[in-house]
Chains A and B, each alone.
Chain A
Amino acid sequence: MKTSFNILIAGVGGQGNLVCGRVLAEAAILEDRRPVLGDTFGASRRGGSVLTHLRVADEDMGPLIPKGHADLVVGMEPVEGLRSTLNYASPGTKVVVSTMPVYSPATRSGQYQYPEVSRITSALRDLCEVVYAVDPKPTLDRIGTYKVLNVFILGVLSGSGVVPFSREAIQSSIEKTVGLETSNQLAFTSGIEEGMRLRSL
């Protein structure tokens, strides 16, 4: 079954999850591969979990990654990153996870308590060998908008070398998909730096 490179992007509606998948798929095309991009966005605008399956192969694959076969899990949100890792990862899967939580109605109501983020990252490290936990908050606060979270994460993916696409391909794909105006450019560059730093640790 290992004929494709499988990336799972997990987040919450409004985080730019779908765009993130689109950018990586376009980058795959620039690298002469055949991407299949599966979105589950039925509830994306209403607080639900959003999953994007990206499979990069040389022929058309089914749009869903089989259990245990994700090569990379991108958690745009800590709990969602863990949820997808549990469902789709194996010990060899690499994980990039944002440590910035998005609370759910179930935690706001007091019915559930959002877990300590450090417990989530340590659970991820128990499950997978390579886990890059990244805190986007300082960068996003500096740029002044949370809307560029996805572009920042794309930078981290590129800088940490977990995706099989060149930086140039990702950059021109961002430019084509969402544009590279100042805040996106800043977010992407900061993400690359953060990714390189994590990789060198």
Chain B
Amino acid sequence: MNDEDSYLLMSGNEAIARGALEAGVGFCASYPGTPSTEIATELQKVAEEYGIYVEWSVNEKVALEAAAGASWAGIPALCPMKSLGLNVASDFLLNLNLSGSGPGGLVIVVCDDPRGHSSSNEQDSRFYAKASYLPLLEPSSSQEAKDLIGVAFDISQKQQIPVFVRSTTRLSHSSSIVEVSPIDRKPTTARQEIPDGLYNVPNPHLRHKELNETKSKVHSDFEDLSFNSLESTKASFLILASGVAFRYAKEAAQAIDSPHIDVAKLTSTHPIPQKTILKWLQGRKRVLFIEEVDPFIEEQVLSLYAELEVYETELGRIEFYGKQNGFVPAYGELNTDIVLGALAKILRIDRDKLKVAEEKGINLARELLIPRPLTFCAGCTHRNIYWAIRKIRKRLKEGLVVAGDIGCYSLGVFYDGSMNTMQAMGSGIGTATGLGQLHRFGFEKKVIAVAGDSTFFHACIPALINARHKNANITFLILDNATTAMTGFQLHPGTDPGEKDLTQVSIERIVNAIGPDLFEAVDATDIDATTDTLHRIVQMKGLKVLLCKSICRLEEKKDRAKEPRVFIASEACHGEKCRICVSEFACPALEWDQSKGVARIIKHACIRCGTCIAVCPHAAIQKEGLD
């Protein structure tokens, strides 16, 4: 983020960070999660230069609480998170909205992930704005993303309530040109007094009433918001669109161009600017809603249309089209083609005219495509853990349930179904505490829960305490690679902070304090030791915790090119009738040599960890210089 050029190519996330700097942010607290991570990362890069405080909090609820603390004391605070993070923060959110966020200003950026490219659901987080009665803005480009952060801080400071800005994957992770303004840094000083009455008791209902009044004030401010825009008002067909989907709508309308279609961009999607929208609806016969995930604007506009007399407005009969009546798919991510499809259906245009003609070669060519499933990196110790689990599953006659969690190791669901469940952060150990009680109902399977280190701190500790207190019969594996690997190696409390002014928190000491029946550690690079240890402790009764000392090979500092090379002695390889290393273990540094009918190591992919040596039953995989 240099200041020399005033036009910069910025991703939506970079633009959000820039907007926060221009708006005078002093405090940022976040938890990493795709597609939101880069917002806090960008601010962290310039934290020292601009005298701001940026932290990776232990989870999103704590992040929002920390940010509220700053805002109460007059420091402008930003709290970016992914969609699912807002679920974690929602308990606090639905109290903070009533208490107020104080004079500093608090902007919550929530990055939704339509289609769930990097998420376990595709939730529309805008409903939290409705549930909490808070204002919500949806940028449609990087430029707007930057500019709206300033608008959001203005509203928050004026009304002393948190303000939402919603992004989606395609905005956060696409880049376009942004005209930036200078960053004017005045020293930020905290107030010594925080506002009175930062609690809702004994009359939360009266706080609710006040919040409704504040919402009305915001609502009338939104009538004048220039980001809500409509270029032309002539056509009888209107598309009402928000966020990045506005770009799709505009492009689709231009492509069809018959009859003329107007496209309105609604930026303040909660509360909707009712008068503005009623004005937009004048003279329209058909209205199509284009918005990512749920019919959020659609429902608000339909309810507005249902009570026109309240607004003393007369509109002719309008036909509405959207997700509620199936003209737009009610799931998945939008794009220009989907908008075109909806327009074609409404206008009864032959879609084939819009489509590129199918070529004769297409079906033939499709047969050449091979799938590219996701997999663990070469040398990843998570693969070793799941390899051990696969082996144990075969050995145990009563069977095994593996309750999993969120992180790189979630890929265990694709690794021979090694992981059986995966929902929210911390839900592996949580569901295991239930499964671990079912022996009384005749449930015989052994129960394993799996979680990573960052997930452990984020959401596993209460469930682990529950498991201890209730004597659940489970084995809990903590895959500790000392970093938040999935999202790009953010520090967490268990990471060695180096020179930074942070104190490392020990997983071992936390687990010891909870007092499981058995607590051991194992080196996850040693696949035999991991398998044997796990096999032994899974069969024991009680609460067992196994700390798997793991390594993220992407972050590993060691120069592995200096390690002895791993190779396959072709003469010892049993060929097609075995294939265990490539077909089952499946490290991406192993491949099949079709011509010789043996396995071989892909030199530039191999990190020389040598784990596969133990996987080969015929000792064909070897390390140079070792016998």
A contact residues vs B (CB 8 Å cutoff): 1, 3, 12, 22, 25-26, 29, 34-43, 45-49, 53, 60-64, 66-68, 79-80, 82-83, 85-86, 90-91, 103-115, 119-120, 123-124, 126-127, 146
Can you name the residue of chain B whose Cβ is closest to the Cβ of A63? B174
Q: Which residues of the partner chain B approach A105 to less than 8 Å between Cβ atoms?
A: 372-373, 375, 586, 588
Question: When A42-B118, A67-B337, A104-B373 are in contact, do A37 and B9 touch as well, CB less than 8 Å?
Answer: yes
CB distance from B587 to the nearest CB of A (A): 9
> Could you tell me if A60 and B141 are in contact, using CB atoms closer than 8 angstroms?
yes
Q: Which residues of the partner chain B approach A111 to less than 8 Å between Cβ atoms?
A: 583
Most buried by A among B364, B374, B604: B374
Can you name the residue of chain B whose Cβ is closest to the Cβ of A34? B177
Does B592 sit at the interface, judged by CB under 8 A? yes
> Could you tell me if B362 and A127 are in contact, using CB atoms closer than 8 angstroms?
yes
> Could you tell me if A108 and B591 are in contact, using CB atoms closer than 8 angstroms?
yes
> Could you tell me if A106 and B370 are in contact, using CB atoms closer than 8 angstroms?
yes
Interface residues of B in 215-254 (CB under 8 A from A): 244, 247-248, 250-251, 254
B contact residues vs A (CB 8 Å cutoff): 7, 9, 34-35, 117-118, 141, 143, 169-171, 173-177, 244, 247-248, 250-251, 254-255, 335-337, 340, 355-356, 359-362, 364-366, 368-377, 408, 411, 554, 579, 582-584, 586, 588, 590-592, 604
> Could you tell me if B590 and A36 are in contact, using CB atoms closer than 8 angstroms?
no
Can you name the residue of chain B whose Cβ is closest to the Cβ of A105? B375
Report the Cα distance A63→B176, complex, angstroms: 9
CB distance from B291 to the nearest CB of A (A): 14
Report the Cα distance A157→B169, complex, angstroms: 29
Q: Which residues of the partner chain B approach A49 to less than 8 Å between Cβ atoms?
A: 372
Report the Cα distance A47→B361, complex, angstroms: 28
Most buried by B among A85, A105, A115, A146: A105
Q: Which residues of the partner chain A approach B592 to less than 8 Å between Cβ atoms?
A: 108, 110
Q: Which residues of the partner chain B approach A46 to less than 8 Å between Cβ atoms?
A: 374-377, 408, 411
- Cβ contacts A to B, 15 pairs, < 8 Å: A36-B174, A39-B173, A39-B175, A46-B408, A64-B248, A66-B340, A91-B359, A104-B370, A105-B586, A108-B590, A109-B586, A110-B579, A111-B583, A112-B371, A127-B362
Can you name the residue of chain A whose Cβ is closest to the Cβ of B373? A105
Q: Which residues of the partner chain B approach A146 to less than 8 Å between Cβ atoms?
A: 604
Can you name the residue of chain A whose Cβ is closest to the Cβ of B579? A110
Instruction: Give which listed residue, A40, A103, A115, contacts B173 with CB less than 8 A.
Output: A40
Which 6 residue pairs of A and B lie closest in terms of their CB atoms, listed nearest first? A68-B356, A62-B247, A126-B361, A63-B174, A42-B118, A123-B365
> Could you tell me if A104 and B362 are in contact, using CB atoms closer than 8 angstroms?
no
CB distance from B38 to the nearest CB of A (A): 11
Q: Which residues of the partner chain A approach B250 to less than 8 Å between Cβ atoms?
A: 62
Report the Cα distance A123→B359, complex, angstroms: 11
Q: Which residues of the partner chain B approach A47 to less than 8 Å between Cβ atoms?
A: 372-375, 588
Instruction: Give which listed residue, A37, A63, A112, contacts B370 with CB less than 8 A.
Output: A112
Q: Which residues of the partner chain A approach B411 to less than 8 Å between Cβ atoms?
A: 46
Can you name the residue of chain B whose Cβ is closest to the Cβ of A128? B359
Report the Cα distance A38→B247, complex, angstroms: 13
Report the Cα distance A109→B584, complex, angstroms: 7
Report the Cα distance A80→B604, complex, angstroms: 20
Report the Cα distance A109→B118, complex, angstroms: 25
Report the Cα distance A86→B9, complex, angstroms: 30
Report the Cα distance A45→B552, complex, angstroms: 12
> Could you tell me if B174 and A38 are in contact, using CB atoms closer than 8 angstroms?
yes
CB distance from A29 to the nearest CB of B (A): 6
> Could you tell me if A115 and B368 are in contact, using CB atoms closer than 8 angstroms?
yes
Instruction: Give which listed residue, B117, B335, B340, contacts A42 with CB less than 8 A.
Output: B117
> Could you tell me if B375 and A66 are in contact, using CB atoms closer than 8 angstroms?
no
> Could you tell me if B370 and A123 are in contact, using CB atoms closer than 8 angstroms?
no
Report the Cα distance A42→B78, complex, angstroms: 24
> Could you tell me if A45 and B554 are in contact, using CB atoms closer than 8 angstroms?
yes
Report the Cα distance A110→B372, complex, angstroms: 13
Q: Which residues of the partner chain B approach A22 to less than 8 Å between Cβ atoms?
A: 9, 175
> Could you tell me if B170 and A119 are in contact, using CB atoms closer than 8 angstroms?
no
CB distance from A123 to the nearest CB of B (A): 4
CB distance from B122 to the nearest CB of A (A): 13
Can you name the residue of chain B whose Cβ is closest to the Cβ of A85? B365
Q: Which residues of the partner chain A approach B604 to less than 8 Å between Cβ atoms?
A: 146
Instruction: Give which listed residue, B141, B173, B247, B583, contacts A109 with CB less than 8 A.
Output: B583
CB distance from B520 to the nearest CB of A (A): 29
> Could you tell me if A126 and B359 are in contact, using CB atoms closer than 8 angstroms?
yes
Q: Which residues of the partner chain A approach B586 to less than 8 Å between Cβ atoms?
A: 105, 108-109
CB distance from A193 to the nearest CB of B (A): 24
Most buried by A among B176, B247, B373: B176
Q: Which residues of the partner chain B approach A35 to less than 8 Å between Cβ atoms?
A: 9, 175-177
Can you name the residue of chain A whose Cβ is closest to the Cβ of B370? A112
> Could you tell me if A120 and B368 are in contact, using CB atoms closer than 8 angstroms?
yes
Beyond A104-B370, A109-B586, 12 extra complex contacts between A and B, CB < 8 Å: A36-B176, A46-B374, A62-B247, A63-B247, A91-B359, A105-B375, A107-B370, A109-B579, A110-B582, A115-B370, A123-B368, A126-B361
Q: Which residues of the partner chain A approach B117 to less than 8 Å between Cβ atoms?
A: 40, 42
CB distance from B375 to the nearest CB of A (A): 5
CB distance from A2 to the nearest CB of B (A): 9
Question: When A41-B173, A63-B244, A64-B170 are in contact, do A1 and B373 touch as well, CB less than 8 Å?
Answer: no
Question: When A45-B554, A106-B373 are in contact, do A29 and B335 touch as well, CB less than 8 Å?
Answer: no
Report the Cα distance A83→B176, complex, angstroms: 26
Q: Which residues of the partner chain A approach B365 to less than 8 Å between Cβ atoms?
A: 82, 85-86, 123-124, 126-127
Report the Cα distance A1→B336, complex, angstroms: 10
> Could you tell me if A37 and B175 are in contact, using CB atoms closer than 8 angstroms?
yes
CB distance from B84 to the nearest CB of A (A): 14
Report the Cα distance A106→B173, complex, angstroms: 28
Q: Which residues of the partner chain B approach A37 to less than 8 Å between Cβ atoms?
A: 9, 174-176
> Could you tell me if B372 and A127 are in contact, using CB atoms closer than 8 angstroms?
no
CB distance from B602 to the nearest CB of A (A): 8
Instruction: Give which listed residue, A26, A40, A113, A127, contacts B361 with CB less than 8 A.
Output: A127
Q: Which residues of the partner chain A approach B35 to less than 8 Å between Cβ atoms?
A: 42
Report the Cα distance A123→B364, complex, angstroms: 8
